[in-house]
Amino acid sequence: MPTKTLFSVFDVARQVFYQSRSCLGIVNLKPLIPGHVLVIPRRVVPRLTDLKPDEISELFLSVQTIGRVIEKAYKAEALTVSIQDGIAAGQSVPHVHVHILPRGSTGPFSEDKDSMYPALEASEEGLRADLEKKQAGSGSGGAKFAVPKDDERAPRTEEEMEKEAKWLETFF
């Protein structure tokens, strides 16, 4: 039986597009905007302080590598890189994860750039429930669109996430 690729207790093997010795890049179940991805350590730990020095280093080197690719793939001008480190900070899944979101001077969140942060926090609030639903039911770049409210964003299917992961994998 193949080993699972875990984001906390959730198998995300089909969402992986990047792998290093101790980190993974995964596509997001409910992205705020196209290209919103996560970077996670392979070892399941809830807080940054739980990571060993070499894991911290590789996590942020992976964020840098993946960030360059996300900017290229989604024709972005910049990135928002964010971590909610602990429940009080809005972390809903007890596994360190870094959000990378491509940003530009047009498109979602371009008028009020700081509106990204409340949207990101709101999306974290429902993430655990969405992942649990996905787990129970499971066995194009640069597009411009209005960002729907979190409760209006349906979780993507395994097939949708796998398609994006395979496409992103071609950039590495």
pLDDT band at 4; cut points 50, 70, 90: confident
Binding site feature residues: 28, 84, 90-93, 99
- Separation CA 42–CA 59 (nearest Å): 10
Does a structural domain hold residue 124? Answer: yes
Cβ atoms of 169 and 17 closer than 8 Å: yes
Does a structural domain hold residue 132? Answer: yes
Does a structural domain hold residue 1? Answer: no
Q: What is the CATH number of the domain that holds 143?
A: 3.30.428.10
What average pLDDT is seen over the chain? 84
- What range defines the domain where residue 64 resides? 6-169
Instruction: Return the pLDDT at 10.
Output: 93
Does a structural domain hold residue 57? Answer: yes
* Residue 51 or 124, more confident: 51
**Total tally of structural domains belonging to the chain:** 1
Does a structural domain hold residue 80? Answer: yes
Instruction: Return the pLDDT at 52.
Output: 97
Tens digit of each residue's pLDDT (9 = 90 or more) over 6-64: 999 999 999 999 999 999 999 999 998 999 999 999 999 999 999 999 999 999 999 99
Angular region, 15: left φ>0, alpha ψ -120 to 50, beta rest? alpha
* Residue 141 or 148, more confident: 148
pLDDT band at 135; cut points 50, 70, 90: low
- Separation CA 23–CA 70 (nearest Å): 16
- Looking up tokens 């926090």 gives 121
Note the pTM of the prediction, 2 decimals: 0.77
Q: Hey, what are 36's tokens? A: 């919103």
Strands 16-19 and 23-27: antiparallel
> Rg of the chain over CA atoms, in angstroms?
15
Does a structural domain hold residue 139? Answer: yes
Cβ atoms of 17 and 166 closer than 8 Å: yes
- Looking up tokens 């060993």 gives 52
* Residue 88 or 131, more confident: 88
Tens digit of each residue's pLDDT (9 = 90 or more) over 67-116: 999 999 999 999 999 999 999 998 989 999 999 999 986 566 655 556 56
* Residue 38 or 141, more confident: 38
Is the pLDDT assigned to residue 141 strictly greater than 50? no
For the chain, the first-to-last Cα distance in angstroms comes to: 28
Q: Is 97 a catalytic residue?
A: yes
Binding site feature residues for substrate: 28, 84, 90-93, 99
- What residues have CB less than 8 Å from 25, skipping those under 6 apart? 16, 17, 18, 19, 37, 38, 39, 62, 66, 168
Catalytic residue (one of 36, 95, 97, 156)? 97
- Separation CA 124–CA 122 (nearest Å): 5
